[in-house]
Amino acid sequence: PYRVTVDGPRSTDALVRGVSVASMTIIDAICGDITESTFDAIVNAANSGLLGGGGVDGAIHRAAGPEFLAHCKELKKHYPEGFPVGAAAALPGCDLPATWVIQTVGPNRHAGQTDPADLAACFSRSLTEAARVGAKTIAFPAISAGVYGWAPAEVASVAVAAVRSSPDLEAFTHVRFVLFSDELAQIFTEALTD
């Protein structure tokens, strides 16, 4: 079970419905910088080369530091053909407040990668991977909504559907979308309240 909230937990909802609060997952969306998140895991919208880039990937590399880059280089050795679109792998958060960074690669619309299932896989596999390492809280950016050219509203609807239908959802107390603008946060909030 999940509960949508845009203004913090309301535990009475759970009590009224007779559902144990322990089984609830809060899913919400805020405007912010994901590198400042104190959640157990943050997700990075990386590229197949895994060694950094622009956007949220660049920001995460800058904030996580050189040790994080060393972990990325180790991971890259296992993927000589490049890290696949829609795959996910957990690395230590190093200098970040988050314990883990989940590396995933979204589909690049400019390269003809237009299948929403690939984008959904980024969200669902990131949850699986974060649950595997014991994360209880996870923050996602708007994967593929920047350089990779997907429409923000489509990313929001795919992301929300993928998270809600994840078999790993109950491992988490809180799943949060951390968006880089008020406009994007509004789009995700609308997808959550649909």
Instruction: Look up 57 and say whether it is catalytic.
Output: yes
Place of tokens 């883990």: 100
State the minimum distance, in angstroms, from the CB of residue 148 to ligand AR6.
3
- Tokens read off for 88: 């996910």
Per CB under 6 A, the segment of 92-100, 157-165, 168-176, 177-185 that binds ligand AR6 is 177-185
Q: Which of 27, 29, 41, 59 binds ligand AR6 (CB under 6 A)?
A: 59
Per CB under 6 A, the segment of 10-18, 32-40, 123-131, 159-167 that binds ligand AR6 is 32-40
Q: Which of 24, 46, 102, 131 binds ligand AR6 (CB under 6 A)?
A: 46
Q: Compute the distance between CA of residue 127 and CA of residue 110 in angstroms, rounded to an integer.
A: 26
The length of the chain, given as a count of residues: 194
In sequence order, what DSSP letters do the residues of 64-107 get, joined into one string? H-HHHHHHHHHHHHT-TT-PPTT-EEEEE-TTSSSSEEEEEE--
Residues that bind ligand AR6 (CB under 6 A): 33-35, 45-47, 53-57, 59, 106, 141-148, 178, 180, 184
